[in-house]
Structure 1
């Protein structure tokens, strides 16, 4: 009888633990959650088979109650917020002093432009793009259009 109780408690405990691990650490429906559910169900089934119907009902009710309490407590205690991404990247390309550049200004590519890359204008690196053509590194380029934070360039022939 004691061995039956130990078996039921261990199966249900490990099953509920695996379900919590599934919810917190392994997103989506995976093998971990399915195994946890199966172990919990086997624990409840053994409770019915070995300990009787009345004790089986009590075990089932207790398992559902403990599972629901763990689920509700984990949301209320805000413990899941540690796993959520809260920061936002608000940076933009060429934000600092875009007004220093003018159309027609000549510079040099630092990286290959395919069609985007890095170029050097007045000793400062800028993210630039072409209108679709490839420009090799260390080639002379000219600004043909400035729109918002984009610098559109072409190769100087």
Structure 2
């Protein structure tokens, strides 16, 4: 019975430590609990067996736990959680480069005060300077800053 309890404690501790390293990295709760269960198994070994056997059990538990940690870091599991791409774009990505102040276009939706307008067969989201503008009205660009187009 003591071997069953001892092996259960050590195996559960090892499994929890492996789970921390492989499946839920960064939480540390599972890893700390796994180390605590392994330490409980070692304490149980010292209480139940001779000192020499308990030291052999301790050495075996330490080697297996260290092997689990080394395996977790060398297995490449961290690559699944790391960012491999970078975001492209931003607030100003050149969509309005073909537009100029003074260009005339036509609204294709009501501007309340934001809506859509067409300039040279391209559709842009625009904002009216003075509130509501109905669909089909000619508008003129008065200001362009970043991706915001202000019309009147």
TM-score in same-fold range (> 0.5): yes
Q: Distance in 2 between matches of 1:36 and 1:73?
A: 16
Q: Deviations over 1:42-71 (max 9, x none)?
A: 111111111221111111111111111111
How high is the TM-score relative to the length of structure 1? 0.68
Q: Distance in 2 between matches of 1:110 and 1:10?
A: 71
Whether contact under 8 Å (1:120, 1:126) holds in the other structure is yes
How high is the TM-score relative to the length of structure 2? 0.70
CA RMSD of aligned residues (A): 3.6
Query: Which of the pair has more CA radius of gyration?
Result: 2
Return 5+ residue gaps in structure 1 as ranges.
none
Whether contact under 8 Å (2:140, 2:151) holds in the other structure is yes
Change (3 A) 1:98 1:155: closer
Change (3 A) 1:138 1:33: farther
Q: Does 1:28 align with 2:30?
A: no
Q: Distance in 1 between matches of 2:100 and 2:41?
A: 74
Return 5+ residue gaps in structure 2 as ranges.
none
Change (3 A) 1:75 1:111: farther
Q: Which has the higher contact order (CA 8 A, sep 6+)?
A: 2
The alignment covers a number of residue pairs equal to 145
Q: Does 1:42 align with 2:12?
A: no
Change (3 A) 1:8 1:119: farther
